[in-house]
Amino acid sequence: MLQRIQSLYLFSASLLGIILLFYNPIFLGQAQAISFSPFVALDGTEYHNANHFYGVFVVAVAMTLLYVVFLYKNRSAQIKICRFLLLLLTANTLLFASLMICYPNSITLNYSIFATPAQAFLVFLALRGIKKDEEKVRSVDRIR
């Protein structure tokens, strides 16, 4: 289970999502930060919660990634769920890009803007690894 590299990719993407849950000021403006996290940041600063849906989204993605790690015996379900998560994370990245386009003058970017694309990249790498495992198993089944 954890010996497979795609399990490590999925686990690290989930860990990144959990970190995003607690500290995620995306845009730091002059007056106050616009945060999509439902919690207070790690440094104790309270941010304006612009959208609680994003907090639910981050929790759902992180928990689903942890669930997918333990589906190692059912590779077809892993592939389907990873594709869906990749679609969700790509849509989330496009949402951030549209916010950057809508508010170009009052936004300074923080490093946490790159966390969601990093999650999507890790899910993509895990998806490739799962597909390779599936091809190996099918080739062994053909030999028998």
Structure confidence by residue, pLDDT tens digits, 76-135: 999 999 999 999 999 888 877 777 777 666 555 666 678 889 999 999 999 999 999 888
Whether 29 contacts 106, CB under 8 Å = yes
CA distances from 111 to 47, 55, 71 (A): 16, 18, 32
Identify the pLDDT of residue 27.
Answer: 46
User: What is the residue-wise DSSP string for 24-40?
Assistant: -EEEE-SS-EEE--SS-
Whether 25 contacts 33, CB under 8 Å = yes
The percent of residues above 90 in pLDDT, for the chain, comes to 28
Q: Which amino acid, 11?
A: F
Q: Which residue has the tokens 């936004």?
A: 107
Question: Two tokens at 39?
Answer: 């919690």
**Terminal-to-terminal C-alpha distance of the chain:** 24
Largest CA distance in the chain: 67
What is residue 23's three-state secondary structure?
coil
Confidence of residue 40 (pLDDT cuts 50, 70, 90): very low
Identify the pLDDT of residue 32.
Answer: 47
CA distance 6 to 127: 7
Q: Which residue has the tokens 């995306």?
A: 26
Residue extents of the structural domains in the chain: 5-139
